[in-house]
Amino acid sequence: MAAQQILVIDEGTTSTRAMLFGADGKLHGSQQEELQQYYPAPGLVEHNAAEIWDKTLRCCKKMIEQAGGAEKIAAIGITNQRETIVAWDKRTGEPLGKAIVWQDRRTASICDELKAKGFEPMVQAKTGLLLDPYFSGSKISWMLKNWPEISTAGDNLAFGTIESYLIYRLTGDHHITDASNASRTMLMALDGDDWDDELLGLFGIPKKALPKIVDCAGDLGRTSVELFGTPIAISGSAGDQQAATIGQACLEVGQTKATFGTGAFILTNSGETPPKSENRLLSTVLFQLNGKRIYALEGSVFVAGSLMQWLRDDIGMLKFAGESEDLARSVDETSGVYLVPALSGLGAPHWQADAKATISGLSFSSTKAHIVRAALEAMAYQCHDLKTAFSADGTDWQSLRIDGGMVANDWLVQDLADILDITVERPEFFETTALGTAMLASVGCGIYASLEEASSMISGLEEHQPNIESSRREARLAGWQKAVQSVLSN
């Protein structure tokens, strides 16, 4: 019998994992290692790409051993933190400096300068993105201007997002990126099959240093024989949010998912036509198969699970992330306390790179429980802001499928349903990013003929209905709008 196990590499912002899936979607094993975050100055966020590679390789080897050897693996699928950029030397595969993480804001001045010169309408029309430090183009531009190490690579200089870097290290010679990740760089037109010369010129980036843009499933290369003994086909690749959308089976126009990980990201399937937003939402490639693209409308919230991590690790308000649910339940309301989590600026629909987080409405009667509950409530409020923007763009959510680490919190899930006033659906298996990647890889290696067929890998959904008086919902949202406006006006 042919090998039917899929090895998924899920390289996130705070950890890297290797996960072993069966063709039926069942998870057979997982190996995870935490990643070091580097914050050299306010607004700067970096990773060590060599550490990412070493830990990813170690996790893969443990899962391959569990599977019974490389010959038992049908294919590898890769999903990644998007927009994070790596520069490396093709001769060695070694990075030429730290990876600049998607949360990093160091290129705000580059983006502001281009905005002042009137380039944002052109950039948005071509890429579906806004001129913001979030995206990869300005990060690459900054590296070229500020890191002397990059010039030492000469014609062997390579840039890529994390999946591109991992594929290069796994194969030893394939410098590629899938279309979903390429659409987040600000260097590819949504309807273009290659890097856009006008955008490359805008950021001063040499095309020869960039990877080839390919499908999200198919023959993406084979691993070097020396890594695992037997070469393994790489047959699936997508950015983490696109992979989660696939893993939630949002394969029809209008279907919407929200992932609550480090940040929160909401995507609505828009079909074969790139959506155009008048409300500062993003257009992105959902996936590309056989050269054909399916698009999505996206809203990005920069701070979600990382807020709980901050309250736990830096503020000491939580002993462990799960404690937040008990604290939220211990009080009936926040008593007017609001937390606007702009710890790395505000994302959609505000796009204020320099916004600062605030906690407002405090009094002597405020407790740790009120603040933690306010932090959790901010998740639903931020989603409501996005729902309003999506609706104004003609895409109103009928229901919302959710996933990510935070949705283990039952209180949070119900609060989302209450504030959004729609049905919220939570899958039995939360790890939809990895599952969507396994679906892509299984299509790429021929186990399934289509993503629709591969959706048989997905287990059931649990529904949560709104259960709050409309007057209370409106009062809470009014307080949130006041809190956000105070942040935006500073």
Task: Using alpha carbons, list the distances in angstroms from residue 198 to 122, 205, 223, 416.
Answer: 10, 10, 35, 42
- Mean pLDDT over 386-400 rounds to 89
> Which string of DSSP letters, residue by residue, matches 336-375?
T-EEE--BTBB-TTT-BTT---EEES--TT--HHHHHHHH
Torsion of CA 160, 164, 169, 172, to 10 degrees: -100
> Which string of DSSP letters, residue by residue, matches 276-319?
--SSS-EEEEEEEETTEEEEEEEEEES-SHHHHHHHHHTS---S
Instruction: Tell me whether residue 289 is in a domain.
Output: no
* Residue in the block written with tokens 């320099």: 354
Instruction: Tell me whether residue 415 is in a domain.
Output: no
Q: What is the pLDDT of residues 433-455, one digit of tens each?
A: 999 999 999 999 999 999 999 99
Q: What is the pLDDT of residues 123-166, one digit of tens each?
A: 999 999 999 898 999 999 999 999 988 888 889 999 999 999 99
- Residue ranges of alpha helices (H) inside 204-248 are 225-228, 240-247
Q: Give the pLDDT score at 488.
A: 86
Q: What tokens were used for 389?
A: 């923007």
- CATH number at 16 reads 3.30.420.40
Q: What is the pLDDT of residues 10-35, one digit of tens each?
A: 999 889 999 999 999 999 999 999 99
* CB neighbour list of residue 200: distance below 8 Å, 6 or more residues apart: 187, 206, 207
Give dist(CA 368, CA 366) in Å, integer. 7
Which residue range(s) make up the domain with 99?
5-240
Instruction: Tell me whether residue 320 is in a domain.
Output: no
Give dist(CA 423, CA 474) in Å, integer. 18
Q: Give the pLDDT score at 3.
A: 65
Instruction: Tell me whether residue 143 is in a domain.
Output: yes
Kindly indicate the confidence band of residue 185, based on its pLDDT and cuts at 50, 70 and 90: very high
Kindly indicate the confidence band of residue 1, based on its pLDDT and cuts at 50, 70 and 90: very low
- Mean pLDDT over 365-389 rounds to 94
Q: What is the pLDDT of residues 278-313, one digit of tens each?
A: 888 999 999 999 999 999 999 988 889 889 989 999
Give bridge partners of residue 99 from the DSSP assignment: 47
Checking if the pLDDT of 2 tops 60, the result is: no
What total number of domains does the chain contain?
1
Task: Using alpha carbons, list the distances in angstroms from residue 100 to 53, 168, 185, 346, 353.
Answer: 15, 18, 13, 19, 16
- Mean pLDDT over 245-273 rounds to 90
Whether the bond between 349 and the residue before it is cis, its omega within 30 degrees of 0, is yes
Torsion of CA 184, 260, 49, 179, to 10 degrees: -30
Instruction: Tell me whether residue 218 is in a domain.
Output: yes
Instruction: Tell me whether residue 248 is in a domain.
Output: no
Instruction: Tell me whether residue 271 is in a domain.
Output: no
* Residue in the block written with tokens 């993105």: 129
Torsion of CA 404, 406, 411, 414, to 10 degrees: -30
Instruction: Tell me whether residue 421 is in a domain.
Output: no
Kindly indicate the confidence band of residue 42, based on its pLDDT and cuts at 50, 70 and 90: confident
> Which amino acid is present at 462?
E
Q: Give the pLDDT score at 262.
A: 82
